[in-house]
Amino acid sequence: MAAAACEVWFYHLERTGLDQALPELLEKTLARGWKAVVRTPSPDRVEHLDSWLWTYRDESFLPHAPASEPGAARQPVLLTTELENPNAADALFLIDGAQEGDLAGYARCVVLFDGGDAGQLAAARAQWSRIKASGAPVSYWKQQERGWEKQA
């Protein structure tokens, strides 16, 4: 029996920035018992998120590591600029226009983009078209006052 196709969810950030939205989505991912990879094209973003995920909220933290650290493959959340999935993650988070690469092995791919950034919006639209044309199931979620609402 073939594995189910990876669901690709596009998250249109309008009310909060990535630093607020990403930890919440990662917490939900870990609560499902899943592991995650967060991919960005920027080594500076990996460094920023490495610090941020330890301190974003006083009462908790997200266990994570940059992919470059020894033993990083054992982490439930891996931060990377590479296309690999060394921690056998179930969920792939793409930020800053990162490319999806091969989605085989992931249950879900989440593309987060800033609706106020014309470059990110254009990149997300192109990515949507490419992924939809590949036959992968895609959906679009928009940030509303009461949380995320599925639009398509």
Nearest to 27 by CA among 60, 50, 67: 60
- Other Cβ atoms closer than 10 A to 30: 17
pTM of the model as a whole: 0.93
Q: Where are the domains of the chain?
A: 8-143
Please state the separation of Cα 91 from the chain's center in Å.
7
Q: Yes or no: is domain 8-143 CATH 3.30.70.1400?
A: no
94 phi and psi angles, rounded to 5 deg: -105, 125
* Mean pLDDT per 10-residue interval, the chain, length 152 residues: 78 91 95 97 96 87 91 94 95 95 94 92 93 92 82 80
The C-alpha atoms of residue 84 and residue 106 are separated, in whole angstroms, by: 11
55 residue type, one letter: T
Nearest to 106 by CA among 7, 13, 2, 19: 7
